[in-house]
Amino acid sequence: MLTLQELSDRAEIGDIVARLGYTQDDKDFDGLAALFADRIGFDMPAAAGDPATDITRDELASLARTVLSGFTATQHRACNVLTTVDGDIAHCRAMVDAWHTVPTDPGIADFYTARNNWLLRLERVDGRWLITKWTIVTAAPSDGYQGVYHVAQARAEQDRTSPGEE
């Protein structure tokens, strides 16, 4: 039988998984950074991107801002959260559908849905769970046009370089 502390830890970690999705969807990059330790391992083989790396939480928030700011909307839905806790270290796996949309040219899909697993390593620091490693791996085929990432990135860059309207 699980102890009260184990149940509490699992509930806290489940909330962190939910916040990980919501902060991205709300473009709350400060809130996103607050979920992580000062330095984290980050690996995203699902995107066939850069190799695994150690980055700061501020660098992660900046990367998220670069990737997500240009999207009209995103929705990260996490489910089937499995958590194991061993003292002040926890491992968590969650299935995630990550939907992204941005206006595209006529005839081109304006969305992309990635179906991934988030693999998290967390550490209890000063009584608070923080993510110390985040790996995103492909779990199932995706839908839509993966090029929306490029469209969104160009849109975000245009927004950053365009003079403000008066």
pLDDT tens digits, one per residue of 95-153? 999 999 999 999 999 999 999 999 999 999 999 999 999 999 999 999 999 999 999 99
Are 93 and 81 spatial neighbours (Cβ–Cβ below 8 Å)?
yes
Are 68 and 115 spatial neighbours (Cβ–Cβ below 8 Å)?
no
pLDDT tens digits, one per residue of 22-62? 999 999 999 999 999 999 999 987 666 667 889 999 999 99
pLDDT tens digits, one per residue of 11-25? 999 999 999 999 999
Looking up tokens 């996103």, which residue turns up? Answer: 32
Domains of the chain: 4-160 (3.10.450.50)
Q: How far is CA 110 from CA 36, 64, 98, 119, in A?
A: 31, 20, 14, 28
